[in-house]
């Protein structure tokens, strides 16, 4: 059996990732995320810097109660302060008190930082590295040494940068991690320098820690791995300082599917999209739809030629199977579409359509006309399905809005505006007239419409609006410009989107709401 060291993944979402703008994790969030990352199969999870804040110290106290089977918890900190006894350094002491099996410390590799930031001597910096690593090993910890600004330091003075690694290595560091802290290096530079370090320290395990300031965080990590690096540090969704860190949700599929390196338990890569969405949800951030591998549009096809090709052979325009990362193929319908788009999109929604039929051509022509008028069906699958099924199956509308009136009133300058809507809705041969108040005119209109429909369709109580978006389609008309309204709705089990367009925001809203309610009431194919 081979005993060759294997590539390990070191997650720093909870520390380096949390330093990104707009990223905030509560103590409860950190514990939930740590547990999720551990169960996903990552090798190391860095919990934070116990010397920096009370929340991180509380985290390590609570994290002891979690299950850490194959994953190791790491505490993060720095080397001792200049001219300080290591055992008396308060920051180092807090690292040990965290009681983690792994401690990661960073030290200075760049003389600029040694002399201008730390304001100490090159010799003292070497002692700081050596002394801190030695103490960690004496206390029985796995010691990971992060060589901060290593590539910048190497470019400025390669001899000194290598001596900092030597100080950590001789003190017993388990990994020497080379950091592109400013994120300014090119893959070719990473490859050259990692190769040089490998030559100098052939028996030591190297790691790589990259930032994304040039959009090369993942590429630089891959370059290091190809040169023999045995640990990659990064964050889920690329969170981190400035433009972020190496994005593990991009890196992991590259390692497994492109480079053939097994880094996750069998089958876990298929959970990647779910993990990515979970972390964004926990951080209260919008999920990037264009993220490689895990984004909603990663395997979305719109051009008619593209769709025609993937219908015949998915691999013609998909570099991997979407399911391998927990994602799925999506067909988009719009002005660039062909008959194959309509057919495959309809099939995706459970409706059988003949690509070359007159009905399909008529549907496509209708879609292109609507898109010219400002409609967009990419985020409005329900409106698209209604259009298709009404064309093919001649399904009658369950109701029709006959008329409506909406008033917004402010009785005095300091008073709050009130909105009131009156509506007449035809259901079969009967016209139901109702009125309702709401928080704003659209909410009032929605309330009045539902009030009119509930006696005939009591199941609508299950349905709720979960998102409402407004966009000006074209500003050339000034205040008369066309308005696109996108509505997202849910019945607790599923979610769907609908669209309405008009020069009047209320009419656009009414159209989108009507589609949403109609879709909910649509007879489902058996």
Domain count, the chain: 4
pLDDT at 365 over 50: yes
Helix (H) or strand (E) holding 111: helix 111-112
User: Contact 27/58 with Cβ under 8 angstroms?
Assistant: yes
Q: How far apart are CA 153 and CA 114, in angstroms?
A: 10
Q: What is the arithmetic mean of pLDDT over 292-296?
A: 93
Q: How far apart are CA 56 and CA 499, in angstroms?
A: 45
Q: Based on the domain organization, do 357 and 413 belong to the same domain?
A: no
Q: How far apart are CA 502 and CA 514, in angstroms?
A: 14
Q: Collect all residues with Cβ–Cβ distance below 8 Å to 485 and sequence separation of at least 6.
A: 468, 469, 470, 499, 500, 501, 505, 508, 509, 511, 512
Q: Based on the domain organization, do 133 and 27 belong to the same domain?
A: yes
Residue burial 89-98, b: 16+ Cβ < 10 Å; e: rest: bebbbbbbeb
Q: How far apart are CA 198 and CA 194, in angstroms?
A: 6
Q: Is residue 360 part of a domain?
A: yes
Q: Based on the domain organization, do 238 and 356 belong to the same domain?
A: no
Q: Based on the domain organization, do 128 and 16 belong to the same domain?
A: yes
pLDDT at 78 over 50: yes
Q: What is the arithmetic mean of pLDDT over 115-131?
A: 97
Q: How far apart are CA 76 and CA 145, in angstroms?
A: 10
**Residues found in the chain:** 526
Q: Collect all residues with Cβ–Cβ distance below 8 Å to 454 and sequence separation of at least 6.
A: 460, 461
Q: Based on the domain organization, do 354 and 223 belong to the same domain?
A: no
Percent of the chain at pLDDT exceeding 90: 70
| pLDDT recorded at residue 74 | 98
Sign of CA dihedral 199, 204, 208, 209: negative
CA atoms within 13 A of residue 196's CA, in its CB half-sphere: 16
Q: Is residue 288 part of a domain?
A: no
Q: What is the arithmetic mean of pLDDT over 52-59?
A: 90
Question: Any idea what the CATH number is for the domain that residue 450 is in?
Answer: 3.30.160
User: Contact 512/486 with Cβ under 8 angstroms?
Assistant: yes
Q: Based on the domain organization, do 96 and 166 belong to the same domain?
A: yes
Q: How far apart are CA 157 and CA 160, in angstroms?
A: 6
Q: Which domain holds residue 466?
A: 373-392+462-526
Q: Is residue 270 part of a domain?
A: yes
Of the three residues 251, 283, 315, the one that is the final residue of a domain is 283
Q: Tell me which of 3-17, 200-214, 347-361, 490-504 is least confident.
A: 347-361
Q: How far apart are CA 516 and CA 525, in angstroms?
A: 18
Report the mean per-residue pLDDT for the chain. 90
Q: Based on the domain organization, do 377 and 259 belong to the same domain?
A: no
3-state DSSP call for residue 457? coil
| pLDDT recorded at residue 479 | 47
User: Contact 294/273 with Cβ under 8 angstroms?
Assistant: yes
Our separate counts of H helices and E strands in the chain read 17, 16
Q: Is residue 385 part of a domain?
A: yes
DSSP state for residue 211 in the 8-state scheme = B
Can you state the angle between helices 272-283 and 27-40, rounded to 10 degrees? 170
- 388 band by pLDDT with thresholds 50, 70 and 90: confident
User: Contact 264/224 with Cβ under 8 angstroms?
Assistant: no
DSSP state for residue 220 in the 8-state scheme = H
| pLDDT recorded at residue 334 | 58
Percent of the chain at pLDDT exceeding 70: 93
User: Contact 67/73 with Cβ under 8 angstroms?
Assistant: no
Instruction: Name the more confident of 478 and 360.
Output: 360
Q: Is residue 320 part of a domain?
A: yes
Q: Based on the domain organization, do 173 and 245 belong to the same domain?
A: yes
Instruction: Name the more confident of 221 and 472.
Output: 221
User: Contact 190/224 with Cβ under 8 angstroms?
Assistant: yes
| pLDDT recorded at residue 332 | 67
| pLDDT recorded at residue 206 | 98
Q: Based on the domain organization, do 442 and 418 belong to the same domain?
A: yes
86-95 long-range contacts, CB within 8 A, separation 24+: 86/131, 86/132, 86/134, 86/135, 87/135, 89/132, 90/51, 91/51, 92/132, 92/135, 94/50, 94/51, 94/57, 95/50, 95/51, 95/136
Q: What is the arithmetic mean of pLDDT over 46-62?
A: 91
3-state DSSP call for residue 23? coil
Q: Is residue 293 part of a domain?
A: no
pLDDT at 434 over 70: yes
| pLDDT recorded at residue 2 | 44
Q: What is the arithmetic mean of pLDDT over 217-240?
A: 98
Q: Is residue 82 part of a domain?
A: yes
pLDDT in tens, 305-355: 777 777 777 888 889 998 999 998 876 665 555 556 667 767 766 767 776
C-alpha angle 243-247-248 in degrees, rounded to nearest 5: 160
User: Contact 110/84 with Cβ under 8 angstroms?
Assistant: no
Q: Tell me which of 16-25, 37-46, 343-352, 497-506 is least confident.
A: 343-352
Instruction: Name the more confident of 404 and 53.
Output: 404
Helix (H) or strand (E) holding 74: strand 72-78
27-32 long-range contacts, CB within 8 A, separation 24+: 27/55, 27/58, 27/59, 27/62, 29/282, 29/283, 30/55, 30/59, 31/59, 31/62, 31/63, 31/66, 32/282
Of the three residues 432, 456, 480, the one that is the final residue of a domain is 456
CA atoms within 13 A of residue 3's CA, in its CB half-sphere: 0
Instruction: Name the more confident of 363 and 479.
Output: 363
Q: Based on the domain organization, do 248 and 107 belong to the same domain?
A: yes
Q: How far apart are CA 235 and CA 204, in angstroms?
A: 24
- 1 band by pLDDT with thresholds 50, 70 and 90: very low
| pLDDT recorded at residue 336 | 56
Q: Is residue 294 part of a domain?
A: no
The pairing of beta strand 430-438 with beta strand 418-427: antiparallel
Q: Based on the domain organization, do 226 and 337 belong to the same domain?
A: no
| pLDDT recorded at residue 372 | 81
Question: Any idea what the CATH number is for the domain that residue 489 is in?
Answer: 3.30.160.340
Of the three residues 249, 283, 317, the one that is the final residue of a domain is 283
| pLDDT recorded at residue 315 | 82
At 97, phi and psi to the nearest 5? -70, -20
C-alpha angle 453-459-461 in degrees, rounded to nearest 5: 80
- What pTM does this model have? 0.74
Q: What is the arithmetic mean of pLDDT over 264-268?
A: 95
| pLDDT recorded at residue 352 | 72
Sheet holding 483-490, edge to edge: 464-472, 483-490, 495-502
- 4 band by pLDDT with thresholds 50, 70 and 90: low
Q: Based on the domain organization, do 413 and 476 belong to the same domain?
A: no
């Amino acid at each position: 059996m081979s005993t060759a060291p294997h590539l390990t993944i070191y997650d720093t979402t909870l520390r380096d990732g949390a330093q990104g703008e707009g990223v905030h994790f509560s103590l409860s969030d950190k514990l939930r995320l740590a547990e999720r990352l551990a169960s996903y199969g990552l090798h190391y999870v860095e919990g934070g810097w116990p010397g920096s804040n009370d929340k991180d110290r509380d985290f390590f106290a609570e994290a002891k109660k979690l299950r850490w089977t194959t994953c190791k918890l790491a505490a993060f900190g720095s080397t001792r302060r200049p001219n300080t006894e290591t055992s008396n350094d308060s920051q180092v002491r807090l690292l040990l008190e965290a009681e983690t099996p792994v401690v990661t410390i960073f030290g200075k590799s760049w003389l600029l930082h040694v002399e201008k930031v730390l304001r100490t001597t090159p010799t003292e910096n070497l002692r700081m590295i050596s002394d801190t690593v030695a103490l960690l090993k004496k206390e029985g910890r796995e010691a990971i040494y992060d060589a901060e600004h290593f590539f910048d330091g190497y470019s400025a003075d390669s001899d000194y940068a290598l001596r900092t690694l030597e100080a950590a290595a001789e003190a017993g560091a388990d990994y020497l991690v080379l950091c592109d802290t400013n994120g300014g290096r090119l893959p070719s530079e990473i490859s050259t320098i990692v190769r040089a370090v490998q030559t100098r320290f052939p028996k030591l395990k190297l790691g790589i820690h990259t930032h994304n300031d040039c959009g090369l965080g993942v590429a630089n990590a891959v370059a290091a791995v190809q040169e023999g690096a045995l640990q990659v540090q990064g964050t889920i969704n690329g969170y981190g300082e400035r433009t972020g860190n190496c994005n593990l949700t991009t890196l992991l599929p590259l390692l497994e599917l492109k480079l053939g390196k097994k880094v996750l338990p069998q089958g876990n890569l298929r959970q990647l999209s779910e993990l990515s969405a979970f972390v964004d949800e926990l951080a209260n951030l919008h999920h990037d739809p264009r993220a490689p591998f895990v984004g909603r549009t990663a395997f979305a096809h719109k051009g008619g030629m593209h769709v025609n090709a993937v219908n015949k052979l998915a691999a013609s325009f998909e570099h991997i199977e979407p399911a391998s990362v927990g994602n799925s193929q999506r067909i988009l319908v719009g002005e660039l579409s062909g008959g194959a788009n309509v057919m495959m999109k309809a099939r995706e929604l459970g409706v059988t359509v003949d690509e070359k039929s007159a009905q399909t051509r008529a549907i496509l022509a209708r879609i292109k006309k609507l898109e010219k008028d400002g409609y967009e069906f990419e985020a409005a699958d329900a409106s698209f399905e209604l259009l298709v099924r009404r064309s093919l199956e001649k399904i009658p509308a369950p109701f029709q809005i006959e008329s409506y009136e909406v008033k917004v009133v402010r009785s005095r300058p300091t008073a709050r505006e009130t909105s009131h809507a009156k509506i007449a809705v035809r259901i079969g041969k009967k016209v139901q007239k109702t009125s309702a108040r709401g928080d704003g005119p659209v909410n009032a209109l929605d309330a009045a419409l539902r009030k009119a429909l509930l006696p005939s369709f009591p199941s609508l109580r299950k349905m709720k609006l979960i998102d409402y978006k407004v966009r000006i389609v074209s500003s050339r008309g000034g205040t008369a410009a066309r308005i696109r309204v996108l509505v997202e709705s849910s019945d607790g089990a599923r979610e769907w989107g609908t669209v309405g367009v008009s020069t009047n925001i209320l009419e656009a809203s009414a159209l989108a709401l009507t589609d949403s309610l109609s879709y909910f009431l649509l007879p489902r194919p058996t």
